[in-house]
Amino acid sequence: MAIKGDQTRARLIDAARTLVEARGYYGTGLNEVIAAGHAPKGSLYHHFPGGKDQLTAEALTASAREIDALIKTLTEAAPSTQALLEAMLDALADRMEEAGYNKGCPIATVALEVAATHDELQKVCADAYGGWQRALTDRLILDGRAPGPADDLACCLLAMIEGALVLARARRSREPIQKVRRSAAVLLNA
């Protein structure tokens, strides 16, 4: 594919990432993605013959990779799971605030909307959450926890993060994130 085609494809994915995270799957129209991506109308189905589902799946995958990279970077600098969790919450809260609360978790909105009806998108969402949970599990194991309990606790921590992001976005406030930060510290030190 030519460089111009690659650039058009990347712009469409970036536009879909932004719009889907802010408005959800059903609230994002393809004409809006085309306009935001500054792409000719015919290019959408050229690059994404699977239509909106394919474009959304690729946008979610790109968003998941962004959070994967964030977690990896933070993990390398964190001396403990608690430090990692605090850094994750801060980074995600900053991301949300900088976007005027139009961002939260880049996967959650679509997961809630289409998990029961779109198998491909459900799998992308499940894979993203699974990767984040594995990263937390690995960090907990590094802290000395046994694999089974570490995975259970990682699931709980991920659920706390996701819930905090939903509440913070709904309330347009970092307060739920701060509360989860304090509660997670208690849980990790129990």
Tokens representing residue 56 in the block? 């959304």
Q: Is residue 25 part of a domain?
A: no
Helix axes 81-98, 147-171, angle to 10 degrees: 20
List the one residue out of 120, 113, 146 whose CA is nearest residue 61: 120
Residue 115 scores a pLDDT above 90: no
User: Is residue 48 very low, low, confident or very high in pLDDT (cuts 50, 70, 90)?
Assistant: very high
CATH number at 160 reads: 1.10.357.10
What is the average per-residue pLDDT within 125-152? 97
Please name the residue ranges forming H helices in 1-102.
Answer: 3-23, 30-36, 41-47, 51-77, 81-98
pTM, two decimal places: 0.92
The residue type at 14: D
pLDDT of residue 182: 96
For all residues of the chain together, what is the average pLDDT? 94
Which contacts (CB < 8 Å, 24+ apart) does range 105-108 have? 105/161, 105/162, 105/165, 105/166, 106/17, 106/21, 106/60, 106/63, 106/64, 106/66, 106/67, 107/60, 107/63, 107/64, 108/162, 108/165, 108/166
Q: Is residue 33 part of a domain?
A: no
Q: Is residue 39 part of a domain?
A: no
Residue 1 scores a pLDDT above 70: no
What is the average per-residue pLDDT within 75-95? 96
Q: Is residue 66 part of a domain?
A: yes
pLDDT of residue 2: 66
Q: How many residues does the chain have?
A: 190
Q: Is residue 97 part of a domain?
A: yes
Q: Is residue 7 part of a domain?
A: no
Q: Is residue 76 part of a domain?
A: yes
User: Is residue 177 very low, low, confident or very high in pLDDT (cuts 50, 70, 90)?
Assistant: very high
Tell me the residue range of the domain where 69 lies: 57-188
What is the average per-residue pLDDT within 69-79? 96
Domains in the chain: how many in total? Answer: 1
Q: Is residue 171 part of a domain?
A: yes
107 phi/psi in degrees, rounded to 5: -110, -30
Which contacts (CB < 8 Å, 24+ apart) does range 147-153 have? 153/187, 153/188
Per-residue pLDDT tens for 139-171? 999 999 999 999 999 999 999 999 999 999 999
Tokens representing residue 67 in the block? 């959070």
What is the average per-residue pLDDT within 24-50? 92
What is the average per-residue pLDDT within 66-78? 95
The residue type at 146: A
Residue 102 scores a pLDDT above 70: yes
In three-state secondary structure terms, 50 is coil
Q: What is the DSSP string of 153-164?
A: HHHHHHHHHHHH
pLDDT of residue 3: 78
